[in-house]
């Protein structure tokens, strides 16, 4: 009981601090960390409102933890851990909490939270279950869903196309997909016609409001036989996007038929994921090519005796990624060499330190000497 009270007290203090320090973005709170869970709802009844809120602080972190495990790992892993972990086992992974909205009544507390977990601890924990999670994400993409309904074109109004993007909860994905809040500022800033006509000034204004490098207007309209015609075109940091396709409802494994709008939004998310993975693979390939390309550096090596020179030369040759030491000149006070190496200059400096040498640049050029 004392341990539980201590956890609740710590959470309450953390929540107060997180709520106070949490930055307020111009377009509202948009969390893009892969180790955060937004929109976690709790509804707790207890003897009084304070007790209900304290219980909610316990419940929300547990709920968010298993949602995160399901998202980063699998539903099967989440189910397995639910049988294994207690609330006190989950508390050490918590980084912060913040309230999105809350209401209370005598003996009841209802709230929606954003819950953030410690990236390094979560990565290490999930690695124990063979789940590898990268903390690196692509730049976010702001998506403006426009629905061409039979009763008129809709941008901010409630409609299945916009709701599908909201339900996607793509903010914490490999490529964060941000959906505008649709508050008064958004409505005043961008009309349906502005979005459809591609008004550059107004679209850039809302893009900046959400601090997103890229923006796409995603249009959709009902097609025959229950399908959905989707049209998305524009430029992103991942390249040019051009989707003009009719999506049809497809049964899920459990026999149900998810809304076609949700399937279309998920399909687009997969397109962005593939583009990001292809871009990351290309960057890694180019880096590997650069790393394996020999480079040369002219370096002065001062010494006091031939014996010291031989010792320093031996250390240089033993440094990782050094392939050759070509002697350019040699006298009683030092040598000038052409040092051949691979990988980056920063790595070369670190590798020199590993063998007890310092590679520094001064007024006369690069110099190697014992540390």
Count Cβ atoms within 10 A of the Cβ of residue 218 and give its class: 0-12 exposed, 13-18 middle, 19 or more buried.
buried
CA distance 247 to 230: 7
Of 57-66, 125-134, 227-236, 345-354, the one with minimum mean pLDDT is 125-134
Stretch 215-234: mean pLDDT: 93
Q: What count of other Cβ atoms lies within 10 Å of the Cβ of residue 320? A: 14
Nearest to 19 by CA among 108, 99, 103: 99
Say if residues 367 and 360 touch (Cβ distance below 8 Å).
yes
* Structural domains of the chain ordered from first start: 2-127 (no CATH), 141-288 (3.40.50), 292-370 (3.30.70)
Distance (Å, whole) CA 183 – CA 189: 10
pLDDT greater than 60 at residue 69: yes
Q: Does the pLDDT at position 26 exceed 80?
A: no
Check whether 154 has a pLDDT greater than 50: yes
For a pLDDT cut of 70, what percent of the chain falls above it?
A: 92
pLDDT of residue 71: 83
Q: Each residue of 99-125: pLDDT tens digit?
A: 888 998 888 999 999 899 998 899 899
- Report yes or no: 179 and 166 within 8 Å, Cβ to Cβ: yes
Of the pLDDT bands very low, low, confident and very high (cuts 50, 70, 90), residue 128 is very high
**pLDDT value of position 162:** 95
The pLDDT of residue 95 is above 60: yes
pTM, two decimals, is 0.62
Report, as an integer, the average pLDDT of 314-336: 89
pLDDT band at 20 (very low <50, low <70, confident <90, very high): very low
Per-residue confidence (pLDDT) for residue 213, from 0 to 100: 92
Q: Is residue 5's pLDDT more than 80?
A: no
pLDDT over threshold 50, residue 161: yes
| pLDDT confidence of residue 240 | 92
pLDDT at 147: 96
Sheet holding 334-341, edge to edge: 322-330, 334-341, 295-302, 365-370, 357-362
Element (H, E) at 2: helix 2-21
pLDDT at 342: 86
pLDDT value at position 249?
Answer: 86
Distance CA 371, CA 364 (A): 19
Q: Is the pLDDT of residue 1 over 70?
A: no
Q: CB under 8 Å to 310, separation ≥6 — which residues?
A: none
Span 264-307, pLDDT tens digits: 999 999 899 888 888 888 887 887 777 788 888 999 999 998 88
pLDDT at 14: 45
Decide: 192 and 162 in contact? Cβ < 8 Å. Answer: no
């Amino acid at each position: 009981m004392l341990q539980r009270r201590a956890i609740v007290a710590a959470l309450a203090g953390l929540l107060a601090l997180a709520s106070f320090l949490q930055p307020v973005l111009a377009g509202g709170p948009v969390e893009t960390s892969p180790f955060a869970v937004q929109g976690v709802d709790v509804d707790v009844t207890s003897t009084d409102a304070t007790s209900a809120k304290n219980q909610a602080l316990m419940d929300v972190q547990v709920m968010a933890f298993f949602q995160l495990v399901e998202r980063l790992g699998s539903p099967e892993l989440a189910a397995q851990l639910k049988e294994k972990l207690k609330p006190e086992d989950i508390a050490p992974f918590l980084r912060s909490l913040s309230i999105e909205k809350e209401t209370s009544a005598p003996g009841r507390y209802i709230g929606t939270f954003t819950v953030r977990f410690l990236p390094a601890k979560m990565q290490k924990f999930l690695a124990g279950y063979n789940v590898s999670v990268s903390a690196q994400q692509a730049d976010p993409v702001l998506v403006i869903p426009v629905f061409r309904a039979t009763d008129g074109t809709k941008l901010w109004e409630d409609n299945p196309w916009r709701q599908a993007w909201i339900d996607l909860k793509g903010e914490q994905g490999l490529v964060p997909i941000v959906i505008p809040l649709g508050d008064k500022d958004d409505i005043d800033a961008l009309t349906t016609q502005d979005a459809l006509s591609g008004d550059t000034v107004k679209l850039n204004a809302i893009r900046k409001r959400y601090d997103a490098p890229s923006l796409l207007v995603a249009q959709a309209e009902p097609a025959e036989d229950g399908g959905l015609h989707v049209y998305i075109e524009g430029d992103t940091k991942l390249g040019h996007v051009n989707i003009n396709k009719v999506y049809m409802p497809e049964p899920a494994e459990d026999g149900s038929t998810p809304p076609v709008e949700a399937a279309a939004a998920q399909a687009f998310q997969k397109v962005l994921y593939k583009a990001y993975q292809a871009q990351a693979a290309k960057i890694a390939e180019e880096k590997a090519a650069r790393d394996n390309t020999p480079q040369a550096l002219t370096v002065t090596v001062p010494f006091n005796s031939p014996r010291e020179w031989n010792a320093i030369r031996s250390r240089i040759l033993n440094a990782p990624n050094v392939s050759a030491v070509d002697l350019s000149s040699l006298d009683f006070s030092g040598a000038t060499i052409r040092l051949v190496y691979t990988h980056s200059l920063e790595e070369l400096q670190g590798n020199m330190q590993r063998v007890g040498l310092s590679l520094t640049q001064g007024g006369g050029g690069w110099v190697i000497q014992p540390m």
